[in-house]
Amino acid sequence: MSRQAHGLRAWVLQRFTALYLVLFLAYLLQRFYTFPVQDFAGWQAWIADPLVNLATGLFILSILIHAWVGVRDVVMDYVHHTGVRVAVFAAIALTLTGCGLWSLRVLFLAVIRGSGA
Amino acid sequence: MRFSIYRFDPDKDSQPYMQDYALDEAKIWPGMMLLDALLELKAQDETLSFRRSCQEGVCGSDGMNINGRNGLACITPLASLKTPIELRPLPGQPVIRDLIVDLNQFYSQYRAAKPYLINEDPEPEVERLQSPAEREQLDGLYECILCACCSTSCPSFWWNPDKFLGPAALLQSWRFLADSRDRATDLRLDELEGPFKLFRCHTIMNCVEVCPKGLNPTRAIGRIKELMLKRSM
């Protein structure tokens, strides 16, 4: 990764993901205010819609990227010992990747079940 | 009027301490500035040390932390301050003695910003001219007096003073990026890349809050980021 990737690209990614997070949250609020989901089957049907599924996947990816840049900034500010910093980065990366994979599984299963129903 | 002033003499003291001073009300005149009061206190106790020079907010020597806020003693009216007036050295810098700090780190970051015109074009017969509009771009940038009030109030500069350039140096960086006569835009932007030199700024805006000249380093930093983004696209 170039040196630029750590500075400008991270900064731009943080802003773009923030924009998407706001837009998707506005959609969620509007959607559930207008058409409240009544039961579990309703939730399943909603998330099984390919467009919603994809948009939710992008939302989760955006949260993960946004969180990574934000937490990375905090670590860079406060953790100065190289070894400790690498360990903290690894722990955060592992946690975020785990959350991402788990979300992917949930979204994937929702589509499979949706198409099977 | 009561004062509580940070004292530290590395030759004598193992720890810094706060010392109380009192200034006779009879010695206070209307419109008196904090620096005038400090000079009166120094007449009482000549070991009290602080920097000062022009006494009118131009040289930037007497930057200090006044009641928790960085400012210049010479242009801070005594009447505007809550008593006891607490004076400390500029935060985050090594203390040489009392209110005098070592600003080497601050100056080395200033030097890193290359605060001079870079133009390899053949020298014209007259000065390198600017239109009034081009000259206007430098307003709010060239007025910096390098008092260090901004950089030493910036948490990002406290945590990484060796890696983050700090608001004062970045204001100068933009001052030369914005100069129509400068030809080193790419060089300047390349040197600011990476996660530390520029991007440690989290728009906290303490710099804008304390600048005794009313300048806006946060805006300058935003302009640098914009220019960097435009250039990368």
Who among B155, B196, B199 is closest to A11 (CB)? B199
The domain ranges of chain A are 3-116
Question: Taking all residues of chain B, what is their mean pLDDT, rounded to a whole number?
Answer: 96
Q: Is the ipTM of this complex over 0.85?
A: no
The torsion defined by the Cα of A17, A24, A99 and A84, in degrees rounded to 10, comes to 30
Residues 6+ apart with CB under 8 A from A22: none
Q: Is B91 left (phi over 0), alpha (psi -120 to 50) or beta?
A: beta
CB-based contact, B229 to chain A, within 8 Å? yes
C-beta separation of B116 from B134 below 8 A: no
Closest chain A residue to B160, measured at CA: A77
Beta bridge partners of B77: B33
Mean pLDDT of B150-155: 97
- Residue in A3, A16, A76, A82 to test binding to B, most B beta-carbons within 10 Å: A76
What is B104-232's CATH number, 3.40.190.10, 3.40.50.10140, 3.40.50.920, 1.10.1060.10? 1.10.1060.10
CATH code of B2-101, in short, is 3.10.20.30
CA-nearest residue to B157 within chain A is A77
CA distance B161 to B102: 13
| Residue count of chain A | 117
User: pLDDT tens across B42-59, in order?
Assistant: 999 999 999 999 999 999
Q: What is the pLDDT along chain A (117 residues), one digit of tens a residue?
A: 344 446 899 999 999 999 999 999 999 999 999 988 889 888 888 999 999 999 999 999 999 999 999 999 999 999 999 999 999 999 999 999 999 999 999 999 988 887 765
A contact test, residue of B204, B228, B231 with most A CBs within 10 A = B228
| A→B interface, C-beta within 8 Å | 3-4, 6-8, 10-12, 73, 76-78, 80
SS3 readout for A37-69: CCCHHHHHHHHHCHHHHHHHHHHHHHHHHHHHH
Residues of A in contact with B228 (CB under 8 A): 8
Strands B17-22 and B69-72: unpaired
CA-nearest residue of chain A to B155?
Answer: A77
Rounded (10°) CA dihedral A77, A78, A82, A84: -140
CATH architecture of A3-116: Up-down Bundle (1.20)
SS percent in chain A: helix, strand, coil, step 5:
90, 0, 10
Tell me the pLDDT tens digit for each residue of B56-95.
Answer: 999 999 999 999 999 999 999 999 999 999 999 999 999 9
| Residues 6+ positions from B168 with CB-CB distance below 8 Å | B106, B109, B110, B144, B146, B148, B150, B151, B207, B217
- Token readout for B72 is 């210049």
Q: What is the pTM of this model?
A: 0.89
How far is the C-alpha of A67 from the C-alpha of B217, rounded, in Å?
Answer: 27
SS3 B59: coil
Q: What is the pLDDT of residues B198-213, one digit of tens each?
A: 999 999 999 999 999 9
pLDDT exceeds cutoff 90 at B232: no
- How many helices (H) does chain B have, and how many strands (E)? 8, 7
3-state class of B18 per DSSP?
strand
Longest CA pairwise span in chain A (Å): 54
The domain limits of chain B are 2-101, 104-232
